[in-house]
Structure 1
């Protein structure tokens, strides 16, 4: 996949960070550092979206009236 050239400005902190990552050999270029950061950001956003969907599903589901917390505790941790 061919990349597009885009110019970005980094403050001193992130400029130093990307330089150190390249100097350490972790990445081959500043572009690789930025692409990795964007991939992680995208993954985190997708995870958050899916998590919120799951939470909404759980909140919308009916409460199990047959659930017995004492029985569950005894089964999980042994009789008290």
Structure 2
């Protein structure tokens, strides 16, 4: 079900993380210790978590590009430019 949804603007962790956690909590049918609103508010304001999210996203992208045999850099110049920019 989550695979059918577009991820949105991944460059804005303050929006992506709370939305993703809301979806994960709903899919797992669990309740946070405090409240879902409190959890998402904390996620939206945690700059260390945002930095970790962006770093993990970059690592995941690099791994995917390195291992995906369907990826052709000449077909996706913007991705290639971003990928090489993040390696520096």
The normalised TM-score by structure 2 is: 0.27
**TM-score, with length taken from structure 1:** 0.30
Larger RCO, structure (CA 8 Å, separation 6 or more)? 2
Q: Which has the higher helix share?
A: 2
